[in-house]
Amino acid sequence: MALLEIKDLHASIGDVDILKGINLTINKGEVHAIMGPNGSGKSTLSYVLSGRDGYDVTQGDILLDGESILEMEADERARAGMFLAFQYPVELPGVGGMSFLRGAINARRREEGLDEIDNLEFVKMVREKAKGLGVKDEMLKRAVNVGFSGGEKKRYEILQMAMLEPSMAILDETDSGLDVDALKIVSEGVNALRGDDIGMMVITHYQRLLDHIVPDHVHILAGGKILKSGDKNLALEVEKTGYSSFIDAA
């Protein structure tokens, strides 16, 4: 069943058009990779999908589980199951990591009419998931992302994803900044979350990540449009020939 439907999506910032008619459907259980040159609009797409302020959707629609989410704020979309692992995770000085995670989980639980999560249960859950992703206990105690290395920030994004159990996850260059071993650990973490109930959009520049997280579909985004779609072999082709052949062909 269609989980996310992006229909002829046009979006701009100020008077700059960035997304120029994107069509894409992600079904439950599928992983779609998005590749494309720098500045092609990949992060913009991830922000527009997750409801960041400052973007004007000038045309088209975004449906999550069959319902338009255009009028929903970022927090409502998140509680409806959307999750964005940021390309550049944001440091929040003064915001304790544990209370941040707990706040996010409880926001969701409140929406579902559940009581706040039991504190012991919560701590146990964080510890367990953090361990699997190689996130050190000591990092959990710090302010959100403050003083984390680039790779640590990326692991922390996936930890949040594991805690929030989204139905639609967008991973924006989660591989950048990760060393070879970390890439493996994080990919395993992501793969563990794959399943029939979740759809994923994995934005990356490198085939390397897709060796670990094998996509069902690959799309090439350039100039705010999807120029070509294919299976995982398309990523191999990109790796060999670069984007120019696709852009020239379009």
* Token code pair at residue 109: 């639980």
For residue 54, state whether it binds another protein (rule: CB under 8 A).
Answer: yes
How far apart are alpha carbons 106 and 117 in whole angstroms? 6
Binding another protein by CB under 8 A: which of 39, 103, 147, 150?
Answer: 103
Tell me whether residue 15 or residue 248 sits nearer to ligand ATP (CB atom). Answer: 15
Tell me whether residue 169 or residue 235 sits nearer to another protein (CB atom). Answer: 169
Binding another protein by CB under 8 A: which of 56, 60, 100, 117?
Answer: 100
Tell me whether residue 43 or residue 50 sits nearer to ligand ATP (CB atom). Answer: 43
- Give which of Mg ion, ligand ATP, another protein, none residue 116 binds (C-beta under 5 to 8 Å, depending on kind): none
In 3D, which of 164, 172, 245 has the Cα closest to residue 204? 172
Q: Residue 64: count other Cβ atoms within 10 Å of its Cβ.
A: 21
Binding site for Mg ion (CB under 5 A): 42-43, 87
DSSP string, 106-127: HHHHHHTTPPPPPHHHHHHHHH
Range 124-143, binding another protein (CB under 8 A): 143
**Phi, psi of 230, rounded to the nearest 5 degrees:** -165, -165
β partners of residue 24: 6
How far apart are alpha carbons 165 and 182 in whole angstroms? 21
Between strands 82-85 and 217-222, the pairing is unpaired
How far apart are alpha carbons 87 and 139 in whole angstroms? 19
CB of 67 to ligand ATP, least distance (A): 25
CB of 160 to Mg ion, least distance (A): 19
Tell me whether residue 109 or residue 208 sits nearer to another protein (CB atom). Answer: 109
In this structure, are residues 250 and 235 in contact, taking their beta carbons and an 8 Å threshold?
Answer: no
State the residue number with the nearest CB to Mg ion: 43
For residue 114, state whether it binds another protein (rule: CB under 8 A).
Answer: no
Q: How distant is the alpha carbon of residue 93 from its chain centre?
A: 23
Tell me whether residue 102 or residue 217 sits nearer to another protein (CB atom). Answer: 102
- Give which of Mg ion, ligand ATP, another protein, none residue 39 binds (C-beta under 5 to 8 Å, depending on kind): ligand ATP
CB of 94 to another protein, least distance (A): 3
Q: In a 3-state reduction of DSSP, which class is residue 177?
A: coil
CB of 90 to another protein, least distance (A): 4
Distance linking the first and last C-alpha atoms of the chain: 30
**Phi, psi of 30, rounded to the nearest 5 degrees:** -100, 150
* Token code pair at residue 250: 């379009």
Tell me whether residue 108 or residue 228 sits nearer to ligand ATP (CB atom). Answer: 228
CB of 37 to Mg ion, least distance (A): 10
Binding site for another protein (CB under 8 A): 50-54, 73-75, 78-79, 83-84, 86, 89-90, 92-95, 100, 103-104, 107-108, 111, 143-144, 160, 164
